[in-house]
Structure 1
Amino acid sequence: MAQKPTHLHVPDIHAPGWLGDFRSFLMRGNVVDLAVGVIIGAAFTAIVNSLVKDIFTPFLGLLIGGIDFTNLFITLRGPHMPTLAEAQKAGAVTLNIGVFLNAVIQFIIIGFVIFWVVRIISRFAAKKEAAPAAPPPPPRSEVLLQDILDVLKEQEKAKTPPTA
């Protein structure tokens, strides 16, 4: 009867050196923090975009009389149509000035909203801060030097005769 092998010999497989370096790089604290920041930033972007699009932009539209710059465009080549959508559907090459203006206006509104959000958060954070901590005690060497100085002053007083 043939003997069964007691163990299988598997050749040593060595991972390339860069793989360990890459793993270390990914697990660094600042890379993980950056990833978390990007994810939270994306979620925050969705909130700010909704605040601007759904809350501020309708009010702004009422204030400026519902002006829509989207159809402000110049046809460079192709048929000239009354709306940008129709011109693009017809294959015209257009310079979309209105779309750019809308993007600039939205950028300004988003910047304004972010300014106020950061300002409000900063105020809440400032209120949560406790009273400033007491200053740290002086180093031991300074304390000893002050004690020596006090002793020398006392000895000097003891040597000086009282004036009458």
Structure 2
Amino acid sequence: MWKEFKTFIMKGNILDLAVAVIIGSAFKSIVTSFVKDIIMPPIGVALGGVDFRDLTIELVTTTDEVAAVTINYGIFLQTIIDFLIISFVIFMVIKGYNKMQRKKEEAPAPPPEPSKEELLLTEIRDILKQAK
């Protein structure tokens, strides 16, 4: 069982997937910071000084016994923008990859090596040309 597991883990696709997951999570952190710290503040200023983190709908008000229950739709909007940016980048990467694959497929394959019969016939032809 251990050998089978080791063979499974050592396959190139699994290692590539692990690297992709790690890079993807780092990329998500960058995009989240980009949206939260760079994109949303100017949008908030353009909308009259709105901080999207504060956009909520209060379902239950705060009392001494109960904390407020809110729907945080501003944070949800930021998450949607994160998703759209990440989805667009992934789309562009896959589009570029597919374009490269098509170019590889369209590249002409080198001609196959001539068979022994073809080589022999070529030699005969050349000898006949020289004999004339």
SS in 1 for 2:48: coil
**Structure 1 residues 74 and 66, CA gap change in structure 2 (3 angstroms):** same
| Pairwise CA RMSD | 4.0
Aligned residues: 110
Structural mapping, 1:1-164, within 5 Å: 18-69=1-52, 70-75=54-59, 77=60, 80-81=61-62, 90-108=66-84, 111=87, 114=89, 118=92, 122=96, 135-137=109-111, 140=114, 144=118
8 Å Cα contact 1:52-1:110 kept in structure 2: no
Instruction: Identify, as 1 or 2, the structure richer in helix.
Output: 2
Shift of 1:27: 1.4
- Measured in 2, the distance between the counterparts of 1:104 and 1:134 equals 44
TM-score, normalization by structure 2? 0.54
Q: Which runs of 5 or more residues in structure 2 are unaligned?
A: 126-132
Distance 2:86 2:26 in 1: 15
TM-score (norm 1): 0.46
- Distance of 1:106 and 1:140 partners within structure 2: 57
What is the letter of the counterpart of residue 14 of structure 2? V
Report the identity percentage. Answer: 41
Give 2:114's aligned amino acid.
R
| Structure whose alpha-carbon radius of gyration is higher | 1
